């Protein structure tokens, strides 16, 4: 599957202004990247000027800033409707704010609703969850994979803005492994534990206990504080 850059524009948000970039694959599926501080225009000249100024002061050149990156799969119910069944909306907003504060980074917003099973099947899985099944078993009961997401679009998207080293905002080791296997240096994994509540506690516990997400002891503390 190949991915093609289509267009870009400015996107003001309540967190600050982003550049929004649209990519499309061979099937016409669209993916979105929001960036701040990427790419640096005429990067060589900027670095040379900085080196000159620092050398005149007898100091070493500054280390390049590693962008803060969030790979976020589309979640209509969480991102748009503020669902309490998941932590997706708070994760997206917290990542956007963190990237603005850092001044260098990107949100890779991938159009793979419901861990890749689509919106209709996601709501069917919700119905099974309402009957007491966890998120993983609900997918399996529908004859669907526990997680059908792919990340092959991330490489072309990051390459578009010249990024080959990242600080990755995630609790999911699969995302770290995928980027690493495809030549992206993950210099730091930045944990993201937000939006914990009584409605999504079992959902998060399933991520931790059955899907290998790196939610540590702070998960239980966050749940207690939100009661």
Binding positions for Zn(2+): 75, 86, 88
With contact defined as beta carbons under 8 Å apart, do 94 and 131 qualify? no
- Residues of the binding site for GTP: 70-74, 91, 113-115, 135, 170, 175
3-state secondary structure 156-171: HHHHHCCCCEEEEECC
| Beta carbons of 161 and 154 less than 8 angstroms apart | no
The catalytic position among 130, 149, 189, 208 is: 149
- Cα 30 to Cα 39: distance, rounded to the nearest angstrom: 21
Q: What angle do CA 171, 179, 166 make, to 5 degrees?
A: 75
Query: What is the Rg, in whole angstroms, of the alpha carbon atoms belonging to the chain?
Result: 19
- The question of whether 208 is a catalytic residue gets the answer no
Place of tokens 């991520």: 207
Distance CA 47, CA 50 (A): 5
Q: Which residues are annotated as a binding site?
A: 70-75, 86, 88, 91, 113-115, 135, 170, 175
Q: SS3 for 75?
A: coil
Q: Residue 149 catalytic?
A: yes
**List of E strands, the chain:** 3-13, 16-25, 30-36, 68-73, 105-110, 165-169, 185-190
* Tokens matching residue 173: 């080791």
- Which of 111, 147, 152, 167 is catalytic? The answer is 147
Q: Which two tokens stand for residue 99?
A: 């990237």
**Catalytic residue positions, numbered:** 147, 149
């Amino acid at each position: 599957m190949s991915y093609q850059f289509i267009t870009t524009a400015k996107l003001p948000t309540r967190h600050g202004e982003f550049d929004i970039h649209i990519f499309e694959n061979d099937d016409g599926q669209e993916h979105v990247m929001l960036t701040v501080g990427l790419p640096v225009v005429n990067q060589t000249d900027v670095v040379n000027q900085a080196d000159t100024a620092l050398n005149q002061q007898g100091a070493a050149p500054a280390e390049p800033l590693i962008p803060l990156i969030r790979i976020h799969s589309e979640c209509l119910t969480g991102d748009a409707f503020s669902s309490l069944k998941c932590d997706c909306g708070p994760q997206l907003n917290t990542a956007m704010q963190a990237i603005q504060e850092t001044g260098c980074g990107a949100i890779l917003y991938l159009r793979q609703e419901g861990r890749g099973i689509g919106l209709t099947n996601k709501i069917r899985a919700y119905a099974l969850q309402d009957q007491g099944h966890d998120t993983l078993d609900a997918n399996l009961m529908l004859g669907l994979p526990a997680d059908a997401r792919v990340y092959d679009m991330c490489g072309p998207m990051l390459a578009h803005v010249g990024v080959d080293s990242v600080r990755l905002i995630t609790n999911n080791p699969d995302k770290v492994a995928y980027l690493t296997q495809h030549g992206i240096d993950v210099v730091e994994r930045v944990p993201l534990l937000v939006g914990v509540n009584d409605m999504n506690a079992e959902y998060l516990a399933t991520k931790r206990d059955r899907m290998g997400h790196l939610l540590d002891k702070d998960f239980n503390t966050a749940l207690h504080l939100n009661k």
